[in-house]
Structure 1
Amino acid sequence: MLAGISGWHTAENQGVNNVLAAQDSFKNPIADGADPWVIKSGEYYYTCRSKAGQIMVSKSKKLTEIGPAKVVWKSPVKSWNSKTVWAPELHQIGKKWYIYYAAGQSGPPFIYQRSGVLESVTDDPQGEYVDKGMLKTGDDNADPSKTIWAIDLTVTSINGKLYAAWSGWERNATTDKTSQHLYIARMSNPVTISSQRVKISSPDQPWERGGPLDLNEGPQFLKNKGNTFIIYSARESWTPEYRLGQLKLKDSTRVILDAKNWIKSGPVFQGTPQVLGTGHASFTTSPDGKEWWIFYHSKKESSPGWNRDLRLQQFSWDAKGNPVFGIPVVAGTLIKKPGGE
């Protein structure tokens, strides 16, 4: 009799523990989509995405739950940026917000992609924006007509100076079957590139090559304890081999616009037989500020294509200050929610 009662209580307690574990956890994927961008400001997380020529900003107190989306910009009917709006990023610089995005006058083929920037009218990231035009991602800033194909532009401040990094072509081409490289340049303000671009990475390592079209794209700055990294995507986004590589700034007191000052390593995060095509990540911290999280996309099937979903995972840092992303967690696995959520 006592054994039976004890067993019943054990089962009851186990059931309660399972419920509590589920309430304190989440599962990947958290949403459909691609090229995820998240930024934390105060107690809110803002995500930014594009759909059908529109750019939307979502707001949520929870990292694991994307809030309702609000359209903040629609592409013009006929302009350089009227089609193929890709991978917008939301950045807070000073008292205003800026959205950097890629678009083209037509496509496919995607041979007209350029990078543009929107500037907020107020301090509300979900408020009104003004289109500040195309950024000069070429070799001659004095001649806008020489702006070269560019996507996935991102920005950061290093030693008090603003820099832009992006994925681009060496020269404009008549086919989108063109290899992509990573470039960096100085900015005089959030809407103006003021220096010539410098190529800091090409797909030249064995783990970056071997597919139908070798690419470097999706650069994202990641900074921690005095170290500056560019985490980027390599290989092809439509294949299961999409993965992340790393550039580390060797010495922040030296010239930032020097390819020799960026040390490449990788892959630092790649798929498994259960999680395919992991790439185009952004990074943030937990609500309590004690944990680091990677926000990335993954392919839904192994066949070529862009059917993808969004995933979150905590990462750590090693003794040398490098990020350690680990292995992508299989879909459906319970993951402990970010601290403070």
Structure 2
Amino acid sequence: MNLKIYITLFLLVIFTACAKSENPPAETDSVETTFANPVWDGADPWMVKQGDDYIYCFSINNGIAVSSSKFMTKRNKAEYIWKAPASGWNSNCVWAPEIHFIDGHWYVYYAAGVSGPPFIHQRTGVLRSVNDNVYSEYEDMGMLNTGDDPDDISKNIWAIDMTVLEHKGKLYAIWSGWLEQMETDATSQHLYIQEMENPYTLKGKRVLLSSPQETWETGGPLDLNEGPQVLKHDEKVFIVYSCRESWLKEYRQGMLQLINPDADPLDPESWIKTGPVFEGNNSVYGVGHVSFVKSPDETEDWIIYHSKKTTEPGWDRDVRMQPFNWNADGTPDFGEVVRAGEAIQRPSGEVEIEQNQINE
């Protein structure tokens, strides 16, 4: 072989070998396969899976931020999508935003008030993205009329924690509200449902869906039904909601189940109440305000929730997550709350995604 050709081939082999050695295959041991709760500080966790991304939406510094990640258990840097105006009905007390992708736009439902405490001015507003990018600009679509007079928003009534149910081609708003406007925030809260004309306009009149009446959702200084979240499984529809007092260790989850897929969601008789379906234990306190997502490979169901950091009254909370199963009758089995520090297998498919990222 010509010496020049031989040297060229030799250098090519060496170069190729070196190039490959710069990115060796990721070994399983190099990627954590478990995690432990809590995953981060925060409250009212709202996580939604859109394609291969997990969108996490939360309130911070009187504004709303989102982050997008391939991982449920690892948040990326968050970006503001909206900050409360300097004045107006929604200038303060921004609470518990949720983000939903509907008809090519992202819609954010949030509670805010002109002032507080006392928190007697809370109403629900809607933001809409200008396109399908979650980080796009957002248009303020205004306040929703959650009162009893659809023609007079000046008679609007206190409303927080709005979520949406898409069912049989129709859209419904579900939220926590008062029976009537009061001058004290020490007022019992109820769940309401109302059909929507579009994602930013309510249609008809609100319907009282659930009141805190059962022994497991009453008994403290203030009876609450709040934080409703929709959960679907096959053709079954559930609303999992928080009850008791959000600042106490007894905060827990109740559930409404639509009696059959063809039942009218606007008829309170169409729903069956059970509970508690998820609650704390002697080391995890005040379990509440949940959301639900599938694992990256779509084989597992996960519940995202917050809990209190101590047994003392207050709202110092952190975010947790764990998988759950389904009973033979198609109802969710959320199981026991996982204790802090206990190893949990990462959501199915997440480890493989991280390994692939390392290998790229």
Question: Within 2, Cα distance between the matches of 1:22 and 1:266?
Answer: 39
CA distance in 1, matches of 2:29, 2:315: 36
One-letter code of the match for 1:253? Answer: D
Counterpart CA distance in 2 for 1:50 and 1:229 is: 26
State whether structure 2 residue 125 is matched by structure 1 residue 131: no
Q: CA deviation at 1:156?
A: 1.8
Match of 2:255 in 1: 246
For the residue of structure 2 that corresponds to 1:203, the secondary structure is: coil
Match of 1:74 among 66, 78, 83: 83
- Of the structure 1 ranges 288-297 and 59-68, higher mean CA displacement relative to structure 2 is found in 59-68
Q: Matches of 2:193 and 2:158 in 1, distance apart? A: 14
Is it true that 1:339 corresponds to 2:348 in the alignment?
A: yes
Q: Deviations over 1:65-93 (max 9, x none)?
A: 11110000010000100000000000000
Q: Structure 1 residue 322 and structure 2 residue 344: aligned?
A: no
Q: Which residue of 2 aligns with 1:164?
A: 173
1:263 aligns with 2:247: no
Cα separation, 2, equivalents of 1:195 and 1:292:
34
Letter in 2 for 1:241: E
Letter in 2 for 1:251: N
Unaligned runs of at least 5 residues, structure 1: 1-18
CA–CA distance in 2 between the matches of 1:62 and 1:155? 24
For 1:100 and 1:107, how far apart are their aligned partners in 2? 19
Percent identical pairs in the alignment equals: 55
User: What is the distance in 1 between the residues matched to 2:285 and 2:235?
Assistant: 32
Q: How does 1:54-73 map to 2 (within 5 A)?
A: 54-73=63-82
TM-score by length of 1: 0.93
For residues 277-302 of structure 1, the C-alpha deviation after alignment (integer angstroms, 9 at most, x for no partner) is 00000000000000000000000000
Secondary structure (helix, strand or coil) at the match of 2:204 reads coil
1:288 matched to 2:303? The reply is no
Of 103, 117, 123, 1:108 maps to: 117
CA contact (8 A) 1:22 1:334 kept: no
Amino acid at match of 1:225: D
Partner of 2:353: none
> CA offset at residue 175 of structure 1?
0.2
Deviation readout 1:2-57 (Å, 9 max, x if unpaired): xxxxxxxxxxxxxxxxx949810001000000000001011110000001111000
State how far apart, in whole Å, the 1-side matches of 2:246 and 2:238 are. Answer: 21
CA distance in 2, matches of 1:42, 1:110: 37
2-structure distance, mates of 1:21, 1:327: 30
- 1:25 and 1:254 map into 2 onto residues whose CA distance is 41
The alpha carbon displacement at 1:268 in A equals 0.1
Matched, 1:144 2:153: yes
Looking at structure 2, the residues matched to 171 and 20 of structure 1 have their Cα atoms a distance apart, in angstroms, of 58
Structure 2 counterparts to residues 193-272 of structure 1, below 5 A: 193-272=202-281
| Match in the other structure for 1:36 | 45
1:313 maps to which of 319, 322, 347: 322
- Partners of 2:96 and 2:68 in 1: CA distance: 17
Change (3 A) 1:261 1:333: same
Displacement of 1:325 in angstroms is: 0.4
Partner of residue 24, structure 2: none
- Aligned residue identity for 1:35: D
Correspondences of 1:289-304 after superposition (within 5 Å): 289-304=298-313
Residue type at the aligned position of 2:201: T
Work out whether 1:99 is the aligned partner of 2:79. no
Name the larger-Rg structure.
2
Partner SS, residue 260 of structure 1: helix
What TM-score do you get using the length of structure 2 for normalisation? Answer: 0.88
- CA distance in structure 1 between the partners assigned to 2:257 and 2:29 by the alignment: 41
RMSD (Å), alpha carbons = 1.1
Contact 1:58–1:66 under 8 Å retained in 2: yes
What one-letter code is carried by the residue in structure 2 that aligns with 1:126? Y
* 1:227 and 1:249 in contact (8 A); partners too: yes
CA distance in 1, matches of 2:103, 2:64: 22
Q: How many residues align structurally?
A: 323
Separation in 2, partners of 1:53, 1:257: 33
Q: Which runs of 5+ in 2 are unaligned?
A: 1-27, 351-360
Give the distance between the partners of 1:292 and 1:117, measured in 2 at CA. 28
**How far off is 1:261 after superposition?**
0.6
- Structure-2 residue corresponding to 1:173: 182
Question: Using the alignment, how far apart are the partners of 2:260 and 2:309 within structure 1?
Answer: 39
8 A Cα contact 1:199 1:259, kept in partner: yes
* Alpha-carbon distance, 1:311 to partner: 0.2
